[in-house]
Structure 1
């Protein structure tokens, strides 16, 4: 007969092993995602249409296989839940409409400053962009643009499905929901280091400049990854992170230095500050699980569920 102390030791060892399985599964999935970009040998730059098409095909295959990776992890880690695999990964119908609208609205609020900046500098272009976003013909033209298709569709869908939809369910049982929001983006940030290889191959900059740019890219991709991970954990949907990712790709990083030198600097800075403040005020209300129903991934969380 086992003594109680031995039972506790075995439980601790099992939990430790499960955590290693979680971390290694996420690491391997990130490696496979990045590695799929390099199965095609080419001397052409990354923005060449043929390179984009091949890489899009590769990451689409990896993202399509990511549910199998989560299923295998559940088997190895001995995880049993009462919801489907797709629901764990954020593909579900309950609360779908709020999940489409509210996280995207929250992201647009954060970009209030850059949007006002764009409207002041190029009012005609800004109006045309708004009109084209509602025009079916414009969407058809965009779908024929390989760079647009990669940045606005394929990258957001595949990266969110792999780095949020697949990794967060694997991390939550080990780290808990709150820590998972900050751990998962590390894999996402590190995955972008592969740009160092391409920059070095093309000899565009010195190694010190390349590393500096890579470090900055890691920082903002990790911060952005934490935001979309938070959205995923609070809503239980993958569609919100995908749309937020696509919108942020279309806008780029806020150009605060340009705003500081703008003739209408006061109005612009007010818009930037108001956008940031409104974002913080609305962050929890617009992601309240009340709008989205029970969050499937939270069923994996050890008590207390915190972020969930």
Structure 2
């Protein structure tokens, strides 16, 4: 039988080891549970989309398309209200669950500090990716002078469709699916990889309802084609969401992703086939001399098309190489991905 003193020491050591293993070394529970983060993300998505179908002023029909000015105005009012409600609820949850100060909440939401440098680098990164389309629209189609003068911007934002596509849509969507949803997942303990590849799915799902609207306004289109169109839209909105989530975490700046969203909406999808200077469905005709100015009724020669596709590939490669350098920021959110 061991001496009492030695037995007491052994018991104390065992108790100390148990404390070290089960208590001292145990990670703190997340400020927000993963279930709460997921449920709130679904809730924000529903609250954003559902009002479109609750009122005759916003509900699409064969007689009222989503691009009708009256419908756009009503939807803007609905989106503004739902966004304000979602922001207020998120701030309440962050304050109550994580006990964050006002300054910490603003930083986690990407609202402060404002970094014009980070925003400029993000736009440069997206411009590199769209080097080919920028060449086609600015040089081949001759829009560069209008861009410099700002004429195109004024004309576009002067319409309800332009205001929706380039202002209200990017601002409200990035506030909800980046500034609101990502901080909740950070506080819930999700990894950076999970946040980047999971949260954009909510963003993609929020666009699936366009299938219903498309079927209403295009009843003669075969269902299979409409479904494929919707799946394609879900794919590219999710792909953009992956990029936006990455940039938001790397820069801690919601303004960067809003501007990137606006830029991508403005550019649209790049051309992946065909000759530049020709609209889809427009007869190409013989090349001829082929180097007349845009709008002259002739297409450009093959050199212009070759230049476009070279820039398209070079832009994709440049985007890959500059993805981390141009999103480097001292304002990165906790757990942001890095090159290591």
Query: TM-score category by the smaller chain?
Result: 0.7 to 0.9
Distance 1:91 1:17 in 2: 20
- Structure 2 residue corresponding to 1:143, chosen from 149, 152, 157: 157
Larger RCO: 1 or 2 (CA < 8 Å, sep 6+): 1
In structure 1, the partner of 2:112 is: 92
- The verdict on how the C-alpha distance between 1:263 and 1:89 changes in structure 2, with shifts beyond 3 A counting, is same
In structure 2, the partner of 1:266 is: 306
What is the Cα deviation at residue 222 of structure 1? 0.4
- The verdict on how the C-alpha distance between 1:109 and 1:68 changes in structure 2, with shifts beyond 3 A counting, is same
Q: Which 5+ residue runs of structure 1 have no aligned equivalent?
A: none
Q: Select between 44-53 and 142-151 the one with higher mean Cα deviation.
A: 142-151
Distance 2:194 2:243 in 1: 13
Residues 232-271 of structure 1: pairs in structure 2 closer than 5 A: 232-259=248-275, 263-264=302-303, 265-271=305-311
In structure 1, the partner of 2:294 is: none
Relative to the length of structure 1, the TM-score reads 0.84
Count the aligned residue pairs: 289
In structure 2, the partner of 1:27 is: 42
Distance 2:27 2:204 in 1: 30
Question: Does structure 2 retain, via aligned residues, the 8 Å contact 1:36–1:58?
Answer: yes
Distance 2:155 2:307 in 1: 35
Q: Secondary structure at the match of 1:256?
A: coil
In structure 2, the partner of 1:205 is: 221
- Structure 1 residue corresponding to 2:185, chosen from 149, 171, 174: 171
- Structure 1 residue corresponding to 2:327, chosen from 287, 296, 305: 287
Relative to the length of structure 2, the TM-score reads 0.77
Question: Does structure 1 retain, via aligned residues, the 8 Å contact 2:94–2:100?
Answer: no
In structure 1, the partner of 2:90 is: 70
- Structure 2 residue corresponding to 1:60, chosen from 69, 80, 88: 80
What is the Cα deviation at residue 249 of structure 1? 0.5
What is the Cα deviation at residue 60 of structure 1? 1.4
In structure 2, the partner of 1:103 is: 122
Distance 1:24 1:13 in 2: 22
- The verdict on how the C-alpha distance between 1:207 and 1:7 changes in structure 2, with shifts beyond 3 A counting, is farther
Question: Does structure 2 retain, via aligned residues, the 8 Å contact 1:188–1:225?
Answer: yes
What is the Cα deviation at residue 213 of structure 1? 0.6
Q: Give the CA RMSD over aligned residues.
A: 2.8
- Determine which structure has more spread, i.e. the larger CA radius of gyration: 2
What is the Cα deviation at residue 120 of structure 1? 4.7
Q: Which 5+ residue runs of structure 2 have no aligned equivalent?
A: 1-17, 277-283, 285-300
Question: Does structure 2 retain, via aligned residues, the 8 Å contact 1:178–1:307?
Answer: no
Q: Select between 229-238 and 173-182 the one with higher mean Cα deviation.
A: 173-182
Question: Does structure 2 retain, via aligned residues, the 8 Å contact 1:25–1:73?
Answer: no
